[in-house]
């Protein structure tokens, strides 16, 4: 069986890509409701969300092309628009979305971190849905394991026929714990604008770095040890740590 896509004659729908789209829409709707609850200007959200969405698509596609350069071999100059090949990278979508959001906030004189603090819980909710999508379709799978909770796939998208680590289930429970932990502290940190955002993103990068060691799907390996996603995690985590330390020192 092929759990990675549904075929209709000459056409096929990638299930994981569809689940990612659903996760993004649910996350965006939850973000909209949270903004209303916090009494932030909804008109600003409605007029600018399409820009943030385009930033997410652009960033997600760029990172996907960087991590899978063979797409250029298959599609040439058309690679950026052949989004069904390699799809969109979730980290790139986050970067693209955040950059355009920051740019619009800067031009409008609004607090970037006030808006991102509200978006942390909706984002984690979307990640949990994406985790389940990756598990059920086999789009993201782990390395071989003899542990009793290993899962075995029978789908064309998974090259390993023996039991593998359910890495997306690991990620799901990490993100579920994060959602619960930050939900409890959401109101406590309201007077510290940006603390929720910075700590959540740093923990996401750190947990992703660890989880990458368990992944078995193909990617670029650096120094025969680290996946290229881990290099991005360390780079972004270092930048965020440096920036946060500089920000705290300037506040004091």
Average per-residue pLDDT in the chain? 83
Structural domain total, the chain:
1
How much is the average pLDDT of 194-199? Answer: 86
Predicted confidence band at 204 (pLDDT cuts at 50, 70, 90)? very high
- Structure-token pair, residue 87: 């799809």
Task: Give the model confidence (pLDDT) of 122-176 as tens digits.
Answer: 999 999 998 998 888 888 888 899 999 998 887 766 777 789 999 999 999 999 9
What integer pLDDT is reported at residue 156 of this predicted model? 64
Structural domain boundaries enclosing 102 = 5-251
Burial 165-196, CB ≥16 within 10 A → b, else e: bbbbbbbbebbeebbeebeeeeeeeeeeebbb
CA atoms in the 13 A half-sphere facing the CB of 83: 14
**What pTM was estimated for this model as a whole?**
0.83
Cβ atoms 232, 91 nearer than 8 A: yes
First to last CA, the chain: 60
For 144, what's the count of Cα atoms within 13 Å in the CB-facing half-sphere?
4
CA distance 125 to 58: 22
Torsion of CA 127, 61, 55, 57, to 10 degrees: -60
Q: For 167, phi and psi rounded to 5 degrees?
A: -65, -30
Q: Which residue blocks in 68-108 are alpha helix, DSSP H?
A: 70-75, 90-108
- What b/e sequence results for 83-111 when a residue is b if at least 16 CB atoms lie within 10 Å of its CB, and e otherwise? eebbbbbbbbbbbbbbebbbebbeeeeee
The answer to whether the Cα torsion of 8, 13, 19, 22 is positive or negative is negative
């Amino acid at each position: 069986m092929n759990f990675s896509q549904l075929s209709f004659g000459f056409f096929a729908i990638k299930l994981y890509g569809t689940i990612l789209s659903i996760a993004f829409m649910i996350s965006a709707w939850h973000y909209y409701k949270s903004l209303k609850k916090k009494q932030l200007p909804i008109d600003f959200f409605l007029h600018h969300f399409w820009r943030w969405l385009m930033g997410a698509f652009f960033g997600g596609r760029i990172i996907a092309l960087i991590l899978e350069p063979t797409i250029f071999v298959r599609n040439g100059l058309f690679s950026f628009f052949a989004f069904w090949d390699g799809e969109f990278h979730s980290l790139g979508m986050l970067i693209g979305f955040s950059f355009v959001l920051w740019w619009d906030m800067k031009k409008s004189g609004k607090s970037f971190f006030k808006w991102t603090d509200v978006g942390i819980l909706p984002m984690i909710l979307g990640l949990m849905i994406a985790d389940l999508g990756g598990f059920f379709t086999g789009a993201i799978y782990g390395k071989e394991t003899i542990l009793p909770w290993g899962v075995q796939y029978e789908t064309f998208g998974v090259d390993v026929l023996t039991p593998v680590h359910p890495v997306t289930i690991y990620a799901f429970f990490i993100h579920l714990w994060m959602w619960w932990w930050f939900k409890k502290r959401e109101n406590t940190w309201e007077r510290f604008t940006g603390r929720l955002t910075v700590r959540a993103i740093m923990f996401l990068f750190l947990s992703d770095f660890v989880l990458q060691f368990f992944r078995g799907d193909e990617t670029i390996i650096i120094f025969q040890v680290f996946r290229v996603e881990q290099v991005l995690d360390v780079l972004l985590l270092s930048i965020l740590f440096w920036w946060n330390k500089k920000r705290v020192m300037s506040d004091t």
